[in-house]
Amino acid sequence: MMRTRPLKVALLGCGVVGSEVARIMTTHADDLAARIGAPVELAGIAVRRPDKVRDGIPAELVTTDATALVKRGDIDVVIEVIGGIEPARTLITTAFEHGASVVSANKALVAADGAALHAAAQRHGADLYYEAAVAGAIPLVRPLRESLAGDKVNRVLGIVNGTTNFILDKMDSSGAGYSEALDEATALGYAEADPTADVEGFDAAAKAAILAGIAFHTRVTIDDVHREGLTEVTAADIASAKRMGCTVKLLAICERAADGASVTARVHPAMIPLSHPLASVREAYNAVFVESDAAGQLMFYGPGAGGSPTASAVLGDLVAVCRNKLAGATGPGESAYTRLPVSPMGDVVTRYHISLDVADKSGVLAQVATVFAEHGVSIDTVRQQGKDGEASLVVVTHRAADAALSSTVGALRELDTVRGVASIMRVEGE
């Protein structure tokens, strides 16, 4: 039997995502009520610019006083889609203190302060859900947190930023350079006017922190995530990847150590074989590859950003939280019982593709090979080409620790015959 008294929802933010959340709540009100078991009522919308025209949004719901809205005491659920650290953090904790559960799309805040937010939610008997913080419409947080709760996840490997995937896809398919591909992404609306958060890997690093924490039941913050952007990726790197039967992607990689005693979380460009499922992810799409003991290999794919996809994830969380409210229960909170340390990037073991500018004369290859051997880094393949006294040497290694590779490159730079290190890129997915 459906409850007639509505559950009241406060919406913080009415931009691209927030306006779509409000629209769907209004147009699908009957379906949402049937799925929840009670009507949901949009009780207020906090915005920064009240005079902005918002089609379909009743003016009487709009307020600039977000604090007063979350303090009302009759709000059951607060939806936070304003982003950033403050005032979002204070508003969320205030909502908990006044009896509301929270649905958030705020990856930066969850990645930086998720443990404290979960603790506040638990103290006040509230829910904190954030499916939309990781990969837009792709169901990922809930499968990791609930569907795979009885399994042991060993690795999460994914493309979690649509802007960077679009840029790299265009560089691969058209031969464009980084700047040209970025310009196209900006013109099409895939990149912000200031694309730093995307192209320097900050956005993906926040998502990696969240995924690692959930997958491995330990606390991982964005400060624990090794981060490299794609601004140094060149058309030559893309061409080298093609010669190896690979493509280049900006990957978020979260791994449990082989001995189970630690985890790593990192974001960086990498070459992956064309045979890997992630290699076929095109344009601005996202995909995440999960490897676990019992389930084996799973892949989650779909649009990772945008108003409608992100609103879909927000509303999925809203339904779950409202059902919990009606049942007088809360859903899963933080699971950090393993307390595993996060290993530094120097301990990470992977393959490497190194491109060197060298003198075109005899003995260079022998010198380079000696340096690799002296630092315990095994060479898989070498390709050399030269002309008019200048040459390039491309070395692909077997698996080696990042620290060993770094010391190797440092020694290579000391050789008179090595003019420079053109690029270094990891090789993943094998």
The residues annotated with a catalytic role in the active site are: 207
**Token reading at 237:** 């790197």
What one-character-per-residue DSSP string does 364-424 give? HHHHHHHHHHHTT--EEEEEEEEETTEEEEEEEESSEEHHHHHHHHHHHHT-TTEEEEEEE
Cα-based angle 110, 111, 116 (whole degrees, multiple of 5): 55
CA gap 354, 373 in Å, rounded: 15
Phi, psi of 266 (to 5 degrees): -150, 155
> What's the CA gap between 230 and 2, in Å, rounded?
52
Pairing assessment for the beta strands 226-227 and 263-273 based on DSSP bridges: parallel
Rg, Å, the chain Cα set = 24
Length of the chain: 430
Would you state the structure tokens that stand for residue 328, as one six-digit string? 């007088």
> Do the bridges between strand 77-80 and strand 7-12 make them parallel or antiparallel, or are there none, so unpaired?
parallel
Interatomic CA distance for residues 409 and 12, integer angstroms: 49
Burial class (CB in 10 A: 0-12, 13-18, 19+), 60: exposed
- At 114 the three-state DSSP class reads helix
